[in-house]
Homo-oligomer: A and B are copies of this chain.
Amino acid sequence: MAKEIENLWREVRELSLGTKIDRFDSQPSPVKFLRNYVSQSKPCIISKAITHWPALKLWSDPAYLTGALSDDVVSLHLTPNGCADAVTGDSDLCFASAHVEKVLFPEALKVVQSSCKGLKVGYLQQQNDCFRTEYSTVALDCDGDIEWATEAFGCSPEAVNLWIGTDDSVTSFHKDHYENLYAVVSGEKHFLLLPPTDVHRLYIEQYPAANYSYHRLEVEEPVRHVPWSSVDPYPSPEKEASERLKFPLFFDGPKPFHCTVKAGEVLYLPSMWFHHVSQTPGDGGYTIAVNYWYDMQFDIKYAYFNFLQSLSYKSSSLNPILSWGEDEDSESSDAEV
């Protein structure tokens, strides 16, 4: 089984994905987007997708945002380490969610900007359509949808989320059951991407859900388990050797696709792709992104994924039979749509 699964990882790269994320300058037609990316479950980056948004100029200035949103209450996610929705702990691992506070925007932004890892990290986000519910005051600074994507998917976005954070905040590997158009407005977002075919490489396990109450992590009662990836792609130097031993399918297999999405750019992240997200702040001292979730199709690709996930990766020997010898650079490339 190990051999067949590894062949799948290899073949999807050789036949379809290549080693770099396609990148092009102007927005694709809905037909080309569907044909070359959605149908094939293939990410791409569009460079000049949102150059007409007022937000691109306005939102780098904290004074503009705090003025415009002076009376708006928003969801502020607080953790000691910037790792919300992540597997946390030294021995008794759990799935830790942030402490969420409803705060007036100017105060919330101050907390984000003064984040200090190990003490208190603030991240303005809420994946419940927060851009349209909490930030409606500045809604007109962006488009309400990504027009060519709406035409391609045949529906309006199911949710639009806003993200304001610093390089202290990191989102751990996970997948979403949505088609995702991810627009960066200020700063840069760094993605590690793995296709759904690589599900075994993420070591998804069941972890008890826990919530931060300031610095204390409280496991939910009654216990609720959350399936989540065990892999931290950037372990600390002292942990690296042991992490590599624990997760060889991740560390010794094909490299994740790596891409940086800059202000003004949009990443198409297909449904069911695993992604890990970190960020570099822009001029305002923060990174801002708006992402559009469109309903996905639960089609043959999804059925194949569930089938693959239901199988155990079993090597015939004691060690996995990984035989990867890549040294390609997997930054994104230029491509024609």
Interface residues of A (CB under 8 A from B): 1, 4-5, 7-8, 11-12, 15-17, 30-32, 34-35, 38-42, 151-154, 195-197, 297-304, 306-308, 310-311
Complex Cα–Cα for A111 and B154 (A): 50
CB distance from A207 to the nearest CB of B (A): 24
Complex Cα–Cα for A197 and B300 (A): 8
A-B contact pairs, 29 of them (CB 8 A): A1-B311, A4-B307, A5-B307, A7-B310, A8-B303, A8-B304, A8-B306, A8-B307, A11-B307, A15-B302, A16-B297, A16-B300, A16-B303, A30-B31, A31-B152, A34-B34, A34-B35, A34-B38, A35-B154, A35-B297, A38-B39, A39-B39, A39-B297, A40-B299, A42-B299, A42-B300, A196-B300, A197-B307, A304-B308
Contacts of A304 on B, CB cut-off 8 Å?
8, 197, 301, 304, 308
Contacts of A40 on B, CB cut-off 8 Å?
297, 299-301
Query: Do A303 and B41 touch (CB < 8 A)?
Result: no
Contact of A299 among B1, B39, B196 (CB under 8 A): B39
When C-beta atoms are compared, the residue in chain B nearest to A298 turns out to be B15
Contacts of A16 on B, CB cut-off 8 Å?
297-300, 302-303
Query: Do A195 and B300 touch (CB < 8 A)?
Result: yes
When C-beta atoms are compared, the residue in chain B nearest to A40 turns out to be B299
Query: Do B301 and A300 touch (CB < 8 A)?
Result: yes
- Not counting A4-B307, A31-B34, a sample of 11 additional A-B residue pairs whose C-beta atoms are within 8 angstroms of each other reads A8-B303, A11-B303, A15-B298, A16-B303, A31-B154, A39-B299, A40-B299, A41-B300, A42-B299, A42-B300, A301-B301
CB distance from A307 to the nearest CB of B (A): 4
Query: Do B31 and A307 touch (CB < 8 A)?
Result: no
Complex Cα–Cα for A12 and B298 (A): 9
CB distance from A282 to the nearest CB of B (A): 34
CB distance from A70 to the nearest CB of B (A): 42
Query: Do B35 and A152 touch (CB < 8 A)?
Result: yes
Contacts of A4 on B, CB cut-off 8 Å?
307, 310-311
Contact of A12 among B5, B38, B41, B303 (CB under 8 A): B303
Complex Cα–Cα for A16 and B30 (A): 22
When C-beta atoms are compared, the residue in chain B nearest to A9 turns out to be B303
Complex Cα–Cα for A165 and B293 (A): 50
Complex Cα–Cα for A221 and B153 (A): 53
Complex Cα–Cα for A300 and B5 (A): 13
Given A154-B31, A195-B300, A299-B16; A307-B41 close (CB under 8 Å): no
Contacts of A310 on B, CB cut-off 8 Å?
4, 7
Complex Cα–Cα for A197 and B17 (A): 22
Query: Do B303 and A15 touch (CB < 8 A)?
Result: yes
Across the A-B interface, the 3 shortest Cβ-Cβ residue pairs: A39-B39, A40-B299, A304-B304
Contact of A308 among B11, B41, B297, B307 (CB under 8 A): B307
Contacts of A154 on B, CB cut-off 8 Å?
31-32, 35
